[in-house]
Amino acid sequence: MKVILLERVPGLGDIDDIKEVSDGYALNLLFPKHLAIQASNAKIKELKDKEKKRAKDTEKELRETQSLADRLEGYTLIIEDKANEDSLLYAAITPQRIAEALKTYGFPVNKTMVFTEPIKEIGDYKIKIKMRHGLEANINLTVNAKIEAETGKSKK
């Protein structure tokens, strides 16, 4: 009997695989545990249509990710933050902060995509952004000291 697997079955196959099994195996194990359904012509056609749609969606996502990687490659991001006289930042620049800054400029990046240690000093850095499908881009990060506006008070 031909069946379509609904879940991964060790020793038999993965989800959406079409397999030939004995009637007893299908009727006594696979069907009662909802691991498979009988493979009719309609179900096989439905499965093939689903696979085509999945392939089309994956191809579209790959194009979008490649476009993002191309736009990000070599991009220079400037972040200003408070620092002391020794060029040490009061608060580290984390992957989360870099991702949020990139989002404000229209790059859909999240913190898990940004690969860097927390940055604690003013300066220029190369940051790696890793995306799905094995794509990655390198951006330039410039961390500058934020200039505080004078409040008019004098120090005594």
Confidence of residue 151 (pLDDT cuts 50, 70, 90): very low
Give residue-wise pLDDT tens across range 14-45. 999 999 999 999 999 999 999 999 999 999 99
CATH of domain 2-63: 3.40.5.10
- Is the pLDDT at 3 greater than 70, yes or no? yes
Give residue-wise pLDDT tens across range 94-139. 999 999 999 999 999 999 999 999 999 999 999 999 999 899 999 9
- Is the pLDDT at 91 greater than 60, yes or no? yes
Domains of the chain by residue range? 2-63, 69-145
Confidence of residue 146 (pLDDT cuts 50, 70, 90): confident
Phi, psi values for residue 96, rounded to 5°: -60, -45
- Is the pLDDT at 154 greater than 50, yes or no? no
Angle (CA) 120-121-122 rounded to 5° is: 140
- Is the pLDDT at 156 greater than 50, yes or no? no
Give residue-wise pLDDT tens across range 46-79. 999 999 999 999 999 999 999 999 999 999 999 9
CATH of domain 69-145: 3.10.430.100
**121-to-18, 80, 99 alpha-carbon distances in Å:** 58, 11, 18
3-state helix, strand, coil in the chain (%, to 5): 35, 30, 35
pLDDT at 39: 92
pLDDT at 148: 60
pLDDT at 152: 45
Distance of alpha carbon 13 from alpha carbon 36, whole angstroms:
11
Q: Please list, in sequence order, all residues whose beta carbon lies within 8 angstroms of the beta carbon of residue 26, skipping any fewer than 6 positions away.
A: 1, 3, 36, 38
